[in-house]
Amino acid sequence: MSGEAYLTLMSALPHLGDLFTAKESPCSGYKLATRLKMLSQEDAELLSEIENLLQWSHNPITLRDAEILSRAKKLLPRLQEKSELLAETVDNRLEQRTVLAAMRRRQRGDIAPPTDSLWGYGRWLKHIARYWNEPTFRLEGVYPWLSEAEQLLREDATVELDHLLLRSKWEYLGYIGEGHYFDFEAVVIYVLRWNIINRWTGYSGKAAAVRFTNLVADGFMGLPK
């Protein structure tokens, strides 16, 4: 797509506003999907793959870690060719998901890290194993919200933890979006933030707690994404 096409698309999308003061989504899912039809087939397919990898609501609860890792390995090389920023974004989200999944395993009573290499993703696997008995695996310097997340997990405060993770993702996407207003990166960041605000405005604490409790897999699927 040309820069002018991205400009036209982004100009047609409503302003998202602030996450926690929003009462409703800035536009319906149907309206968003209609606007996104302006994307080229290549861009539309790439966006769909990113969403399917990162948005837990887009996947069945039976989806296993090995399948998520397989999807990531297929997507990231292609994404790097298109946008290093978006590749880093996906990489960062999967690594954070791995840290949180490790916390959940330990909170359940696992006295040692998993030996199966398919349980997680990214650069922190050996680091997590080394510091398994540290509350935040000594990664609070990398993820400042991790100490609060660990405490909320210990307290079984599922709703509060979900809020914390939503806020963290919202702020991260806002940060990396600086300087990207009318390009493919801007479109992807907008859609990922729309997913967050749509989830927030349709939020049900009871439903979130039930969903959290029913997540029975060990790894990536062990926490809301």
Q: pTM for this one?
A: 0.86
Residue 76, domain member (yes or no): yes
| pLDDT value of position 208 | 54
Amino acid letter for position 168 = S
Q: Does 56 reside within a domain?
A: yes
Q: Does residue 225 fall inside a structural domain?
A: no
For residue 41, give the H/E element and its range.
helix 41-54
- Distance (Å, whole) CA 152 – CA 118: 26
Q: Which residues contact 29 (CB under 8 A, 6 or more apart)?
A: 198
How much is the pLDDT for 24? 86
On average, the pLDDT of the chain sits at: 85
The count of C-alpha atoms lying within 13 angstroms of the C-alpha of 88, restricted to the half-sphere facing its C-beta, is 8
**Do the domain assignments include residue 96?**
yes
Whether residue 212 lies inside any domain: the answer is: yes
Domain count, the chain: 1
* pLDDT tens, residue by residue, 62-113: 456 777 888 888 999 999 999 999 999 999 999 998 999 899 889 888 888 8
In the numeric block, the tokens 């990231």 are attached to 76
The pLDDT value recorded for residue 202 is 78
pLDDT for 210:
54
* Segment 130-184, tens digit of pLDDT: 999 999 999 999 999 999 999 999 998 888 888 899 999 999 999 999 999 999 9
Q: Is 133 exposed, middle or buried (0-12, 13-18, 19+ CB in 10 A)?
A: exposed
The beta-carbon contacts of 63-66 under 8 Å, at least 24 apart in sequence, are: 63/221, 64/217, 64/221, 65/118, 65/119, 65/120, 65/217, 65/218, 65/219, 65/220, 65/221, 66/118
pLDDT at residue 221 in the model? 44
For residue 215, pLDDT over 50 is answered with no
Confirm whether 66 is domain-assigned. yes
pLDDT at res. 41:
95
Give CA–CA dist 186/210, Å, rounded: 33
Domain coverage including residue 72: 3-220
